[in-house]
């Protein structure tokens, strides 16, 4: 390498290689269109707003799982634990006299984050199998606790009888679910904005590093343990937020918010949509819940069989779920054009 | 009080023995193929239903139905291993978890479709029911039978793994697949046979467990935690570890439900968390 070939002052003008830049986080046109869909749904399918708000809430819940599973690569079989903690916190607040929705959300999310932070110290130890067991065990312990503490939580009968105050003191939760839908959509959108910024930050990038190559992260000066604890806590917080939304909009908390079935369904939803993309959780939630609404009405046993078969097929033949498939299609189209 | 304590202890041991029988196959597949198979309980359930069908439809006696349960589950395991599991040995743990959850869902739905959602009855032969007096203690005849059978099977397994050529191949493959393959061991065949054996033992355990654990379509999910616990606490791929873990879990679970019914289910979960904190790689684990 000779000096006149690469003068030092020219180095500054060489454009940085794309690989070293922060990930692109400018809004894509497709994203704006995507967010128009739930807005349009509010006006054009007013009969399905209750299902709609369920989809929005489960979507938020799935996004929270995507943070630890899709970005940091932490496998969890008990993510419902934090959803349930949020749901019960919001539910109990409303039952015992504090029905203000927004502060209820904030408190529920904070409590879920606290529980998640405590749990994370157990979770980050050990390999995948230990993590599966610990996350599952924590969810089971909370499920059992909520079951045994029936005098507070209502046990298997569920927690009902809450009175929600008006949102912002203006909008009362109505029977058609209009306020619940808009409320869920607004909360989901702002939570999503924050998380979208988060995963495109250097911190988010380092999470992908943890997922791809754990052992090399310390070599570039990044503590894996701290990052895992941080993202697990954030994911628990978001899951708690989703749980609180469910409790407030349905004004009921069933014991199954903490159940294994909910954690397993959530995994399916996320994988169906596609992991590591944030939008995968939302799309998965919409597809799964609309299909469930149509098919499970016919026969719940068949539904479970086909969802199992679908899962097997996704794993064997369609890694990446719906969004992964779309991406592959786009790559194919680009190649055939070139 | 002491007699009571011994009775509970014995029940716990019998329960643990059953857990061991079902979970040992899971432990071996996890140690050998590093495969997280959440559908393992489905093979146990299959063995259970095979026994029920044989006994109620064809009037086969209980003891004769047990080997059939083993064979049916082993064949199902071998077929699934060949067709599906084999494709995922190199996949990530997440893919394996999802795949096996999918299989479990299908098994549950299929069992509900064929046999209905209810608990299945089993009629034990008269000499296995009631209590037997041993050294002045009243012990359940079926529990004694269970423990004796599991002792025999465990000795057989230990012999198989430590003294036979096949056992040596299994141990070599657990230690290093590549080196074993390099020495001319047909690792794929070892995998298939081990998987079939593990599924068969689970089927046998499921058949024996109808009386103790109950049998309904949710069986694979209901007891999944216990099987996984045996493996996680015992350390994957270790017979000794799985046995110790299964006995500890069995005894604590039964004792917890007997002495402190109010907190019954907590005992086992708290125990699990404590054990996993103390031994992140399992009691006898070699891998993290």
> Tokens representing A83?
């959803």
Domain assignment present for B130: yes
Cβ-in-10-Å burial (0-12, 13-18, 19+) of A114 comes to middle
Residue of A132, A137, A261 to mutate, testing the B interface (most B Cβ within 10 Å of its Cβ): A137
User: CA B201 to CA A287: how far, in whole Å?
Assistant: 39
pLDDT category of residue A5 using cuts at 50, 70 and 90: very low
Which residues fall within 8 angstroms of residue A337, CB to CB, at 6 or more apart? none
pLDDT category of residue B123 using cuts at 50, 70 and 90: confident
pLDDT tens sequence across A120-160: 888 887 777 778 888 888 888 888 888 887 777 777 777 77
DSSP string for residues in A173-215: PPTT-HHHHHHHHHHHHHHHHHHHHHHTSHHHHHHHHHHH-GG
Per-residue confidence (pLDDT) for residue B288, from 0 to 100: 35
For B64, the domain range is: 2-278
Residue of A68, A118, A119, A126 to mutate, testing the B interface (most B Cβ within 10 Å of its Cβ): A126
Count of the separate structural domains present in chain A:
1
Domain assignment present for A1: no
The whole-number average pLDDT for the span A1-11 is 44
Model ipTM value: 0.79
Domain assignment present for B283: no
Chain B residues within 8 A of A140 when measuring between CB atoms: 225, 265, 269
User: CA B234 to CA B240: how far, in whole Å?
Assistant: 8
Domain assignment present for B240: yes
Count of the separate structural domains present in chain B:
1
User: CA A99 to CA A106: how far, in whole Å?
Assistant: 12
Is B109 within 8 Å of A271 when comparing Cβ atoms?
A: no
Cβ-in-10-Å burial (0-12, 13-18, 19+) of A47 comes to exposed
User: CA A324 to CA A30: how far, in whole Å?
Assistant: 15
* Minimum mean pLDDT range among A5-9, B84-88, B179-183: A5-9
Chain B residues within 8 A of A316 when measuring between CB atoms: 84, 87-88, 99
Is B99 within 8 Å of A312 when comparing Cβ atoms?
A: yes
> Tokens representing A127?
């390999």
- CATH classification of the domain holding B16: 1.10.3470
The whole-number average pLDDT for the span A285-302 is 82
pLDDT tens sequence across A241-293: 999 999 888 888 888 888 888 888 898 888 888 888 888 889 999 988 888 88
Nearest Cα residue to B115 out of B51, B202, B205, B39: B51
Per-residue confidence (pLDDT) for residue B282, from 0 to 100: 67
pLDDT category of residue A338 using cuts at 50, 70 and 90: low
Q: How many CB atoms lie within 10 A of CB A200?
A: 16
Of A132, A140, A307, the CB nearest to B97: A132
What's the predicted TM-score (pTM) here? Answer: 0.82
User: CA B217 to CA B42: how far, in whole Å?
Assistant: 9
Position with higher pLDDT, A73 vs A88: A88
Q: Does residue B37 sit at the A interface (CB-CB below 8 Å)? A: no
Buried b (16+ CB within 10 A) or exposed e, A218-228: eeeebebeebb
pLDDT at A119 over 80: yes
pLDDT at A171 over 80: no
pLDDT at B1 over 80: no
Which residues fall within 8 angstroms of residue A125, CB to CB, at 6 or more apart? A134, B276, B277, B280
Residue A95, helix vs strand vs coil = helix
The whole-number average pLDDT for the span B249-268 is 80
The whole-number average pLDDT for the span B25-29 is 83
The DSSP call for residue B92 is -
pLDDT at A21 over 60: no
How do B137-140 and B131-134 pair as beta strands?
Answer: antiparallel
Per-residue confidence (pLDDT) for residue B173, from 0 to 100: 83
Domain assignment present for A156: yes
> Tokens representing A6?
């690469």
Is B277 within 8 Å of A122 when comparing Cβ atoms?
A: yes
Q: Of A57-71, A202-216, B220-234, where does the model show the most confidence?
A: A57-71
The answer to whether A239 and A83 have CB atoms below 8 angstroms apart is yes
Position with higher pLDDT, B133 vs B230: B230
Cα of B253 vs its chain's centroid, Å: 16
Per-residue confidence (pLDDT) for residue A87, from 0 to 100: 92
Domain assignment present for B284: no
Per-residue confidence (pLDDT) for residue A133, from 0 to 100: 80
Of A77, A129, A141, the CB nearest to B266: A141
The whole-number average pLDDT for the span A4-20 is 47
pLDDT category of residue A4 using cuts at 50, 70 and 90: very low
The proportion of chain B whose per-residue pLDDT surpasses 70, expressed as a percent, equals 94
User: CA B72 to CA B272: how far, in whole Å?
Assistant: 32
The owner of tokens 């699990």 is: B272
Domain assignment present for A63: yes
**Would the CA dihedral through B275, B278, B283, B286 be positive or negative?**
positive
Per-residue confidence (pLDDT) for residue B285, from 0 to 100: 57
Chain B residues within 8 A of A267 when measuring between CB atoms: 97-98, 101
Per-residue confidence (pLDDT) for residue A189, from 0 to 100: 92
Helix H or strand E segment including B133: strand B131-134
The answer to whether A167 and A183 have CB atoms below 8 angstroms apart is yes
pLDDT at A3 over 60: no
The proportion of chain A whose per-residue pLDDT surpasses 70, expressed as a percent, equals 92
The proportion of chain A whose per-residue pLDDT surpasses 90, expressed as a percent, equals 20
Q: What is the dihedral of CA A320, A323, A324, A329, to 10 degrees?
A: 150
The whole-number average pLDDT for the span A201-210 is 84
For A146, the domain range is: 29-287
pLDDT category of residue A24 using cuts at 50, 70 and 90: low
Between the alpha carbon of residue B120 and those of residues B48, B85, B212, B213, B276, the distances in Å are: 9, 29, 12, 11, 35
pLDDT at A117 over 80: yes
User: CA B280 to CA B287: how far, in whole Å?
Assistant: 10
The answer to whether A245 and A187 have CB atoms below 8 angstroms apart is yes
Domain assignment present for B47: yes
pLDDT at A10 over 50: no
Number of A:B CB contacts under 8 A?
122
pLDDT at B266 over 80: no
Per-residue confidence (pLDDT) for residue A151, from 0 to 100: 79
Tell me how far apart the 2 most distant CA atoms of chain B are, in Å. Answer: 59
User: CA B276 to CA B278: how far, in whole Å?
Assistant: 5
Residue of A75, A121, A135, A312 to mutate, testing the B interface (most B Cβ within 10 Å of its Cβ): A312
User: CA B29 to CA A129: how far, in whole Å?
Assistant: 13
The rounded mean pLDDT for chain B is: 84
pLDDT at A13 over 60: no
Residue A239, helix vs strand vs coil = helix
Position with higher pLDDT, B175 vs A242: A242
pLDDT at B185 over 50: yes
Q: How big is chain B by its Cα radius of gyration, in Å?
A: 19
Domain assignment present for B95: yes
């Amino acid at each position: 390498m000779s000096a006149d070939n690469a003068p030092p002052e020219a180095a500054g003008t060489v454009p940085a290689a794309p690989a070293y830049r922060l990930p692109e986080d400018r809004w894509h046109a497709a994203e704006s269109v995507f967010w128009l869909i739930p807005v349009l749904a509010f006006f054009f399918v007013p009969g399905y707003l209750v299902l709609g708000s369920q989809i929005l809430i489960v979507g938020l819940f799935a996004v929270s799982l995507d943070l630890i599973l899709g970005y940091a690569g932490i496998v969890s079989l008990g993510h419902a634990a934090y959803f349930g903690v949020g749901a019960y916190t919001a539910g109990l607040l409303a039952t015992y006299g504090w029905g203000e929705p927004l502060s209820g959300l904030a408190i529920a999310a904070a409590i879920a984050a606290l529980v998640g932070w405590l749990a994370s110290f157990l979770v980050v130890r050990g390999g995948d199998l230990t993590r599966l067991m610990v996350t599952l065990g924590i969810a089971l312990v909370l499920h059992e606790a909520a079951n045994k503490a029936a005098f507070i939580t209502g046990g298997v009968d569920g927690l009902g009888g809450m009175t929600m105050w008006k949102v912002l003191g203006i909008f009362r939760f109505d029977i058609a679910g209009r306020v619940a839908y808009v409320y869920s959509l607004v909360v989901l959108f702002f939570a999503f904005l924050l998380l979208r910024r988060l995963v495109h930050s250097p911190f988010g990038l380092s999470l992908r590093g943890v997922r791809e190559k754990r052992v090399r992260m310390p070599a570039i000066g990044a503590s894996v343990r701290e990052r895992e604890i941080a993202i697990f806590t954030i994911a628990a917080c978001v899951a708690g937020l989703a749980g609180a939304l469910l409790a407030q909009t349905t004004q009921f908390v069933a014991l199954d918010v903490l159940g294994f079935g909910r954690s397993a369904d959530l995994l399916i939803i996320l994988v169906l949509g596609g992991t590591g993309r944030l939008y995968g959780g939302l799309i998965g939630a919409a597809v799964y819940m609309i299909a469930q609404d149509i098919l499970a009405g016919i026969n719940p046993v068949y539904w479970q069989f086909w969802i199992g078969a679908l899962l097997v097929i996704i794993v064997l033949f369609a890694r990446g779920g719906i969004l992964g498939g779309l991406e592959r299609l786009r790559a194919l189209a680009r190649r055939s054009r070139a | 009080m002491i007699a009571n304590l011994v009775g509970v202890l014995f029940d716990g041991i019998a329960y643990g023995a059953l857990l061991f029988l079902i979970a040992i196959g899971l432990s071996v597949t996890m140690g050998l193929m590093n495969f997280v198979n959440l559908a393992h309980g489905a093979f146990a359930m299959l063995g259970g239903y095979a026994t029920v069908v044989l006994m109620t439809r064809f009037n086969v006696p209980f003891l004769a139905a047990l080997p059939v349960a083993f064979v049916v589950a082993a064949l199902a395991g071998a077929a699934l291993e060949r067709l599906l599991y084999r494709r995922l040995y190199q996949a990530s743990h997440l893919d394996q978890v999802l795949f096996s959850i999918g299989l479990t869902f299908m098994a549950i739905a299929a069992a509900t479709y064929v046999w209905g959602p209810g608990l299945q009855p089993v009629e034990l032969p008269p000499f296995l029911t009631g209590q037997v007096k041993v050294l002045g203690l009243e012990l359940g005849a079926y529990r004694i039978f269970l423990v004796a059978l599991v002792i025999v099977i465990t000795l057989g397994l230990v012999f198989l793994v430590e003294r036979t050529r096949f056992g040596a191949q299994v141990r070599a493959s657990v230690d290093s697949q590549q080196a074993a393959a390099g020495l001319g061991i047909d690792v794929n065949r070892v995998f298939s046979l081990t998987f079939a054996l593990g599924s068969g033992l689970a089927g046998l355990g499921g058949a024996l467990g109808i009386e103790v654990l109950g049998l309904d379509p949710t069986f694979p999910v209901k007891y999944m935690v216990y099987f996984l616990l045996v493996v996680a606490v015992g350390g994957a791929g270790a017979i000794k570890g799985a046995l110790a873990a299964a006995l500890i879990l069995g005894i604590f679970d039964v004792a917890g439900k007997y002495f402190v019914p109010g907190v019954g289910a907590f005992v086992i979960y708290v125990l699990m968390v404590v054990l996993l904190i103390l031994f992140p790689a399992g009691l006898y684990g070699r891998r993290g």
